[in-house]
Structure 1
Amino acid sequence: MHSAGGCKAKGATRRRALEASVKVKICDILFTQDTGFSTFTDKRWLAQTMYEIAKTKLNPQDLPLLRVCRSEDGRLWSLDNRRLYVLRECKVRSILVELIDHTNECLEYTCKRFGMINGSTSEGKVLVIKQGTQCGGKQGKMSVSALMPCLDCGQTAFVRFQRLQFVKYNKKAVLDDCATCEQLVGWCKKL
């Protein structure tokens, strides 16, 4: 998912998209859905991407461009809700987006925004992360809980990922001041 390189055709496509891209504040982009899965389409955890951004292993600019539609009232709506969620949680202020002005012709926008199963009733302000069917079991539940703010100390997932350290030769996740946070990010040792 993160690969900016690849074959020549992909590189040319990315260059064209970058040339036509527009820089937008993340806070100006709304979610087209109210819920999203805890994994991307390629089965990578959202939390894993946040962890890599927090540890500066991944630059947010290296992610594929967000596809954004402008509605008739001028508001911007994301077609890539999970990526927008990660960028918001990682406190990215602005990013290049691929702007799609023809919202009336964009079937994906219509389905996501007004769909009966998962459409937006929160006016695009909230995306609730849920466990996907492809990532069941203990790992799936832990990945969702790792994204949530800690109930004990209130730290966000991004702050936890920034402060996370591992015990050498043990791969034990350590956050000195909160045992609950340690449990929330304990699954990171497999990343």
Structure 2
Amino acid sequence: MKRKPADKSGDQPSESRLPRHVDQLREIAALSQRVQHGLARELAVNGTALDAMEVLSREGPMTHGALAERLRVTPGAVTGLINRLEATGHAHRENRTDRRTLWVVPSPASLDRARDLMTPLSAELRRRTADYTPEELALVERFLDDVAAAYRLGAESLEPEGADRDASAG
């Protein structure tokens, strides 16, 4: 598909320039990485441990196997990850159903600390969208749903079937 040449207002993409929203998405991706790195630094964890903390925050306590599946890491890798989360006070193991099934439970204090660190960003997003109409927000949400779906497909296309990440790599 050929792009339209840019008009004098610069709103249309030229042959050599991407549409503005693509540049904006790239900027958001780069800024998201900066936020993630800063949050990981403040919480004294690596990227994979931060991913685990996010999953546990969003979904609540889960078994080792479920966490490994969500993070796309091996069971052995998730064991080391959980050991590090326990050692730094971010989570603990708990027997909930039987002696063979251990659950990973996030630390409430750790979740509170992460939430506190993210409060300025959350407040700024709320401030910037406070005047949007419900229709505008619905359009933004639809666009972001489409972007997330495209990224999911892109991520899946780059991962070999059945591949797991190494938990120490992040």
Does the TM-score normalized on the shorter chain lie above 0.5?
no
Q: Which has the higher strand share?
A: 1
Q: What is the TM-score normalised by the length of structure 2? A: 0.25
Q: Which has the higher helix share?
A: 2
Q: What is the TM-score normalised by the length of structure 1? A: 0.23
Greater C-alpha Rg? 2
